[in-house]
A and B are shown apart, each in its own frame.
Chain A
Amino acid sequence: GNSVTQMEGPVTLSEEAFLTINCTYTATGYPSLFWYVQYPGEGLQLLLKATKADDKGSNKGFEATYRKETTSFHLEKGSVQVSDSAVYFCALSRRSSASKIIFGSGTRLSIRP
């Protein structure tokens, strides 16, 4: 079946450090891939997305590249800020009538000043 695996948290970094949160997926065909962010007490917001192989999604300094050969969609940011502290979810969706979105377990990120 379809699934998403992302690195366990929590991840704690100092401000201005480089960030990588790993995400790999299992799915048949060509799913769309997403990263969502959840700030404390809030719903999920779309951070970035990619709909086909080799696409790069980017937003707010975050980037992720859709790698079909390694079935991965790792999230990166060159210099994190305290305001980036949140929970990050990797997700996929296949083209089907039900259009379910499958989420990873989430990675909590904490940035120290």
Chain B
Amino acid sequence: SQTIHQWPATLVQPVGSPLSLECTVEGTSNPNLYWYRQAAGRGLQLLFYSVGIGQISSEVPQNLSASRPQDRQFILSSKKLLLSDSGFYLCAWRARGANTEAFFGQGTRLTVV
């Protein structure tokens, strides 16, 4: 069966520090991968999605970047965090070419102080 791992679960980082959040998927090949952010009490904002290795699409201009170095690995990064980067970050995958549901990781709670 397919599983998605996302870590760390919580993170407290100072302003100006770098960020690296990792997401890996098991049990499937060629998935579409997504990073979402959820601000406190708010809905989900799609940040990046990827349909293949090295293929990244950005939905909103921001202080973050994403990379997909391997088929089932998706990384969210920042060189210098801002206070406004605080939030709940969710990774998700879904099967390529199918209009089916996405499966989410457990999320990373990021607090920038």
Chain A interface (Cβ within 8 Å of chain B)?
Answer: 31-32, 34, 36, 41-46, 49, 51, 89, 93-95, 97-106
Contacts and interface: CB of A to CB of B under 8 A. Distances in A.
Interface in B66-113: 90, 92, 94, 96-107, 109
Given A98-B51, A99-B32, A45 B42 contact: no
A103 B43 contact: yes
A41 B107 CA distance: 8
Contacts of A45: 104
B28 interface: no
Contact of A43 (B46, B100, B101, B107): B107
Contact of A44 (B32, B51, B90, B99): B90
For the complex of A and B, list the 3 residue pairs with the smallest distance between their C-beta atoms, beginning with the closest: A105-B43, A43-B104, A103-B44
Contacts of B36: 103
B38 to A, nearest CB: 8
A46 B99 contact: no
A99 B30 CA distance: 13
Contacts of A99: 32, 51, 94, 96-99
B90 A101 contact: no
11 contacts: A31-B99, A36-B104, A41-B109, A42-B107, A44-B90, A46-B101, A46-B103, A93-B102, A99-B97, A101-B101, A103-B44
